[in-house]
Structure 1
Amino acid sequence: MSRRRFQTFDDPGHREGGARLGALRDALRGAGLDGFVVPRADEHQSEYVPANAERLAWLTGFTGSAGTAIVLLDAAALVVDGRYTLQAPEQVDTAHITPVALAETTVEAWISGHLSAGALLGYDPWLHTAEGVGRLEKAAAKAGATIRAVEANPVDAVWPDRPAAPAGPVVLHPEALAGEPVAGKLARIRAVLETAACDALVVSDPHNLAWAFNLRGADIAHTPLALGYAILPREGRPALFLTSQDIAPDLRDALAGLADIHPRAAFAAALAGLTTGRIRLETATAAVALKGRIEAAGASVDLGPDPIAAMKAAKNAAEIDGARAAHHRDGLAVARFLAWVDARPAGSLTEIAAVEALEDFRDRGGELRDVSFPTISGSGPNGAIVHYRVTRGTDRTVRDGELFLIDSGAQYADGTTDITRTLAVGTPSEEMRDRYTRVLKGHLAIARAVFPQGTTGAQIDAFARQPLWQAGLEFDHGTGHGVGAFLSVHEGPQRIAKTGHVALVPGMILSNEPGYYRAGAYGIRIENLILVETRAIAGAERPMLGFETLTLAPYDPRLIDTGLLDAGEIAWIDAYHARVRAALSPGLEPATRAWLDDVTRPLGAAKER
């Protein structure tokens, strides 16, 4: 098929750690620094960053979405969380950079244990929050050292082919899909500022900028963001400062009576104009550089939550309708893909071929704007790498007797999807079936959960882990993340995780994705997106909530050990499969419909396969 693809498979690992570290160390010596902190971040502290902010990947070869390198003149470490403990050693030059598991040693602990007394550690104030800088300061002080903000990032000085800053077109997100006019959103935000006694809000998160002003952009791969900031006063006109000046006329018209649009270059002068008042900065995304500039201008800084984040998290009726439509469209594409995989002769499918085929099926369904993240297509041992990204150098054939894990998603104008299915290739082992079924039981425990209003994601995270814990097993990532409405596939503040301390409210969309990973052998993850909804329970003494499952795709019956399931779990799976069949069959071709009928038969009938 001749079209632009959304994914590439170039090998990102450089194995040039020594040369690039050497160049950076020369720059540090020239600046009088003994070390420098290189986070995987841009000036908005985003998970997904533009190419010109991929400093960590350029320096170390590590391409994960989270990690921090600490480069000293005589040592260097890359600290990563549990998603990347297998990936990091594969990508970095371990002769020069030591991968460190966050669960064992934090960034701050490594700094305090390796920084020499009297040393000076540098950091870029646009890539760290005030809270993060406070932690660095304490870690350095523990070692008898100090930290210093460096306005000119030394990595940029030694990166010869650094990409230019993005400046993609900025377009209007239609009110019919957004579900609320900009004026209404601004009024709600101002009401929160009034209650908090704040005179203005500096919007530092591009996701919040996109939601508040009903705009979308193209500055980040796979996430429709326009990079920039906004200053939203409690009284008066907001001002947007966008990296791009390619603003669609209909967006300019829609905002003409509500806000002023300026180039990003004008932002510094606008911050300098905040000479009085109390200015809210978001704790999680506002760079410490913003805090310093506002305080230097004369205003006071109030660090706290950006009220837009909570508003954005609770989807309105139009956004929920859009999510359901997007998942129906996506379900048709995924069903066609899964049937196609099952029909492939043994040994004829590669990881890259699977990625390209799934993207093609989504594209043929119409309305595809992008994938929502690079597809994780891992066969056999590659499936055990939680955030594995296939390249031409790592691509392997899916072999008989293996498991194949494919985690993918799409961006449609009406919604964002994210789904993972683990498939048996040939005959799975009993261990594989046992582990899959335990993951499935945890997945069902979340899907079937009913809980009182005010419950947090942390309180239900253990539901997904209990079946694995009973066998002495665990997985090292959260059970679920928030998902946006034609925005980021990873959205906060909602999450189902040990760190998910935000109460779940109706309208929030999250993933439900427990897993199990046996290093060097296989990986298992099962993921659906779920919508928080109210639940009416006869005799209930308080408001109750539960989940609607949005994703429409069958589980692999070949991997389900019904002997490990109780009657309620079997009934839920059968009802879900019946719902998938009823929703998708009318839109499928006869051969795919026959395949779907087969794999969604009641589990008792599936035993007869």
Structure 2
Amino acid sequence: MFQSFDSHASPDQGPPRLLALRAKLAAMGLQGFIVPRADVHQGEYVAPRDERLQWLTGFTGSAGFCIVLPDAAGVFIDGRYRTQVKAQVDLSVFTPVPWPEVKPGDWVKERLTAGVVGFDPWLHTADEVERLQRSLEGTGVTVSSVSENPVDTIWPDQPAAPAGKAFVHPVALAGESHADKRARLAEALRKAGQRAAVITLPDSLCWLLNIRGADVPKNPVLHGLAVLHDDARVDLFVAPAKLDEAVRAHLGPEVAVHPVEGFAEALKGLAGPVRVDKTTAPLAVSEILKGAGVEVAWGDDPCRLPKACKNAAEIAATREAHLRDGAAMVEFLRWLDEASPSGGLTEISVVQALEGFRRATNALHDISFDTICGAGPNGAIMHYRVTEETNRPVAQNELLLVDSGAQYADGTTDITRTVAIGDPGQEARECYTRVLQGLIAISRVRFPKGLAGRDIDALARFNLWVAGQDYDHGTGHGVGAFLSVHEGPQRISRVSEVPLEPGMILSNEPGYYREGAFGIRLENLIVVQAAPPLGDNRAQLAFETLTFVPFDRRLILREELSKGERRWLDAYHAEVLEKLGNRVSGATLDWLTQACAPI
């Protein structure tokens, strides 16, 4: 299987590791140190070698950091992990800190009056370091980069750096050759008066060069660093063993391959201005450039927005990937309906079955993240990962939340369905219906060109707000094309200021979570497109739905839906049946026909 069920958290190891780290900091003359969940490439997903936050604290979430001081160690986590963190860290030595509500600088000032807090400049962006420095101005506390990461020095069995092999992503799926991409981006650099741009994000690198890799679990990305020059040449810094002859031939003479150890020295020899993204590149990049007298031009990673706006070939391929995945999901849901009444299912057996249906497509490259399968109260843990220790029976009269996805060569999927096991009760139906109304609202919306995700996020929450409810995560994240399942800069979130543009793929996933009781999340993927003419023909955008899997009609309170909501739901289910009917088995077609009946 692609998914394992071993426990990655080691709360019992937290106290001795924290003690060892504090001793190391004292020897270095530091009063504190910041341990992020980050690597040199500043991607969201990190290899086992870079799981420093998990190793130190036991916390396994995909975002967060720990600030270690002499008498306090705060684990900063956002709303997705408020429940999870309490079960994964030793609360006698680590204190969960709600972030971003509590700013790290404010937290430090309350606990430290003087001294130096260290950080690894390869693991933090210039933007986040600047914010922390500003917040500490006028105090006796300063922050300073260190040349040696103290966590690495006390981690005796730290895994080796990943060494996955790269492979070619065909132009038929990419929709554009890497030569054309390089030329297009180089022209933008010339227009901006910039000689080069530094690229550190793994998915940006893979998108630009039409390659994929195997350095990060569940995400087909290559770990490497690159410099794109204004004449469209690229210097690629990567472990040479990762590139076979086929990949080198694909890259061609305009992409020069160098050992990754030569990256820092190569930066010193660049002619400026050199574009650096202060929100994604490690601070060390700009420090090296400035130290060598090379002018730094702050600007966006040149790949991020073009990568986010999928071309026609990428969207067509993604549609096919979602239909394939939708058929596998429907086979799974039919199986679940038949198997659950007799009992005996567990969260792990459900995860195993779902992966089996995806494997049966004979096209599965990997799952796109560890499947979140939460039965009953485990569904309220937003990013729950089942282990042998936490594995819970799928009991009668409860909700089961299953959030999963797949990596196919033609697309990345991410879908969540919450289903009834027996009769979970009226309150569960009321909450489910409100969440479904939020998903429908985003699916139906038309909005003026130029609006960002923050401008429409509230639409998904309206019915929950009216009931005094909400959820502590964004409504949608960007998704790559056979790349990272979480992709920036596009989001549907109250903090997202990036205007939505045609071709951007996002998730649409409102939810509701009651700690200790149940969790509900419903998720489709959608793609931004130009809205058809209407009214006074203002330029507007809308969403095309990519995911086609029925919702659980047993949990929908029809009388609570408006006429427009019922019309959308019936049309969606009719389309599910039309698109998937000839892709599923005969027995599943009978189940699907009933599941897609008009509401």
Given that 1:346 and 1:399 are in contact with CA atoms closer than 8 Å, whether structure 2 keeps it comes out as: no
Given that 2:37 and 2:62 are in contact with CA atoms closer than 8 Å, whether structure 1 keeps it comes out as: yes
Q: TM-score, normalised by structure 1?
A: 0.96
Given that 1:372 and 1:409 are in contact with CA atoms closer than 8 Å, whether structure 2 keeps it comes out as: yes
Residues 1:244 and 1:217: Cα distance change in structure 2 (over 3 Å): farther
1:399 corresponds in structure 2 to 395
Q: What is the distance in 2 between the residues matched to 1:483 and 1:214?
A: 17
2:37 corresponds in structure 1 to 40
Q: TM-score, normalised by structure 2?
A: 0.98
Q: 1:295 aligns with which of 283, 290, 293?
A: 290
Given that 1:475 and 1:515 are in contact with CA atoms closer than 8 Å, whether structure 2 keeps it comes out as: yes
Given that 2:268 and 2:294 are in contact with CA atoms closer than 8 Å, whether structure 1 keeps it comes out as: no
Amino acid at match of 1:40: R
| Greater displacement, 13-22 / 134-143 | 134-143
> 1:529 is paired with a residue of what secondary structure?
strand
The Cα shift of 1:153 comes to: 0.5
2:418 corresponds in structure 1 to 422
> 2:81 is paired with a residue of what secondary structure?
coil
Q: 2:142 aligns with which of 137, 140, 146?
A: 146
1:246 aligns with 2:242: yes
Q: What is the distance in 1 between the residues matched to 2:16 and 2:466?
A: 48
Counterparts in 2 of 1:363-512, with a 5 A limit?
363-512=359-508
1:353 aligns with 2:349: yes
Deviations 1:508-528 (A, max 9, x none): 100000000011100000000
2:113 corresponds in structure 1 to 116
Aligned residue-pair number: 597
2:272 corresponds in structure 1 to 277
Given that 1:226 and 1:243 are in contact with CA atoms closer than 8 Å, whether structure 2 keeps it comes out as: no
Q: What is the distance in 2 between the residues matched to 1:370 and 1:251?
A: 21
Given that 1:112 and 1:142 are in contact with CA atoms closer than 8 Å, whether structure 2 keeps it comes out as: no
> 1:378 is paired with a residue of what secondary structure?
strand
Deviations 1:342-396 (A, max 9, x none): 0013432111111111111000111100010111100111100111111111110
The Cα shift of 1:208 comes to: 0.6
Given that 2:272 and 2:295 are in contact with CA atoms closer than 8 Å, whether structure 1 keeps it comes out as: yes
Q: What is the distance in 1 between the residues matched to 2:103 and 2:390?
A: 30
Q: 1:286 aligns with which of 281, 284, 287?
A: 281
Deviations 1:521-566 (A, max 9, x none): 0000000000111122244332221111100100000000011101
Counterparts in 2 of 1:513-528, with a 5 A limit?
513-528=509-524
Amino acid at match of 1:116: T
Counterparts in 2 of 1:72-151, with a 5 A limit?
72-117=69-114, 119-151=115-147
The Cα shift of 1:103 comes to: 4.9
Q: What is the distance in 1 between the residues matched to 2:453 and 2:420?
A: 31
Given that 2:185 and 2:232 are in contact with CA atoms closer than 8 Å, whether structure 1 keeps it comes out as: no
Counterparts in 2 of 1:286-365, with a 5 A limit?
286-344=281-339, 345-365=341-361
1:542 corresponds in structure 2 to 538
Amino acid at match of 1:321: A
Q: What is the distance in 1 between the residues matched to 2:156 and 2:536?
A: 64
Amino acid at match of 1:286: A
1:160 corresponds in structure 2 to 156
1:169 corresponds in structure 2 to 165
Amino acid at match of 1:7: Q
Given that 1:115 and 1:143 are in contact with CA atoms closer than 8 Å, whether structure 2 keeps it comes out as: no
Given that 2:21 and 2:150 are in contact with CA atoms closer than 8 Å, whether structure 1 keeps it comes out as: yes
1:606 corresponds in structure 2 to none
Q: What is the distance in 2 between the residues matched to 1:103 and 1:50?
A: 25
Q: What is the distance in 2 between the residues matched to 1:337 and 1:511?
A: 21
The Cα shift of 1:236 comes to: 6.0
1:223 corresponds in structure 2 to 219
Given that 1:36 and 1:72 are in contact with CA atoms closer than 8 Å, whether structure 2 keeps it comes out as: yes
The Cα shift of 1:283 comes to: 2.1
Given that 1:168 and 1:244 are in contact with CA atoms closer than 8 Å, whether structure 2 keeps it comes out as: no
1:213 aligns with 2:209: yes
Q: What is the distance in 2 between the residues matched to 1:305 and 1:322?
A: 27
The Cα shift of 1:141 comes to: 3.5
Q: What is the distance in 2 between the residues matched to 1:566 and 1:195?
A: 51
Q: What is the distance in 2 between the residues matched to 1:579 and 1:486?
A: 25
The Cα shift of 1:235 comes to: 2.4
Deviations 1:61-92 (A, max 9, x none): 00000011011122111010000000001100
> 1:36 is paired with a residue of what secondary structure?
strand
Q: What is the distance in 2 between the residues matched to 1:244 and 1:580?
A: 46
Given that 2:178 and 2:209 are in contact with CA atoms closer than 8 Å, whether structure 1 keeps it comes out as: yes
Residues 1:113 and 1:221: Cα distance change in structure 2 (over 3 Å): same
Residues 1:160 and 1:598: Cα distance change in structure 2 (over 3 Å): same
Amino acid at match of 1:34: Q
Q: What is the distance in 2 between the residues matched to 1:448 and 1:363?
A: 33
Given that 2:32 and 2:118 are in contact with CA atoms closer than 8 Å, whether structure 1 keeps it comes out as: yes
Q: What is the distance in 1 between the residues matched to 2:62 and 2:347?
A: 21
Given that 1:169 and 1:244 are in contact with CA atoms closer than 8 Å, whether structure 2 keeps it comes out as: no
Deviations 1:125-184 (A, max 9, x none): 001111111122233435421111111100001111100000110111111111001111
The Cα shift of 1:306 comes to: 1.2
Q: What is the distance in 2 between the residues matched to 1:46 and 1:316?
A: 23
Question: Structure 1: which 5+ runs fail to align?
Answer: 604-609
Q: What is the distance in 1 between the residues matched to 2:395 and 2:78?
A: 30
Q: 2:67 aligns with which of 61, 66, 70?
A: 70
> 1:70 is paired with a residue of what secondary structure?
strand
Q: What is the distance in 2 between the residues matched to 1:407 and 1:151?
A: 40
Q: What is the distance in 2 between the residues matched to 1:598 and 1:518?
A: 30
The Cα shift of 1:584 comes to: 1.1
Q: What is the distance in 2 between the residues matched to 1:230 and 1:269?
A: 13
Amino acid at match of 1:52: R
Q: What is the distance in 2 between the residues matched to 1:429 and 1:452?
A: 40
Question: Structure 2: which 5+ runs fail to align?
Answer: none
| Greater displacement, 511-520 / 235-244 | 235-244
Residues 1:103 and 1:312: Cα distance change in structure 2 (over 3 Å): closer
Given that 2:64 and 2:77 are in contact with CA atoms closer than 8 Å, whether structure 1 keeps it comes out as: yes
Deviations 1:319-354 (A, max 9, x none): 011100100110011001101110013432111111
Q: What is the distance in 1 between the residues matched to 2:587 and 2:272?
A: 66
Deviations 1:278-315 (A, max 9, x none): 00011221110001101112211112211211100010
Amino acid at match of 1:296: G
> 2:461 is paired with a residue of what secondary structure?
helix
Q: What is the distance in 2 between the residues matched to 1:200 and 1:475?
A: 42
Q: What is the distance in 2 between the residues matched to 1:550 and 1:237?
A: 36
> 2:93 is paired with a residue of what secondary structure?
coil
The Cα shift of 1:261 comes to: 1.1
1:18 aligns with 2:15: yes
Deviations 1:421-457 (A, max 9, x none): 0001101211100000000001000000111211211
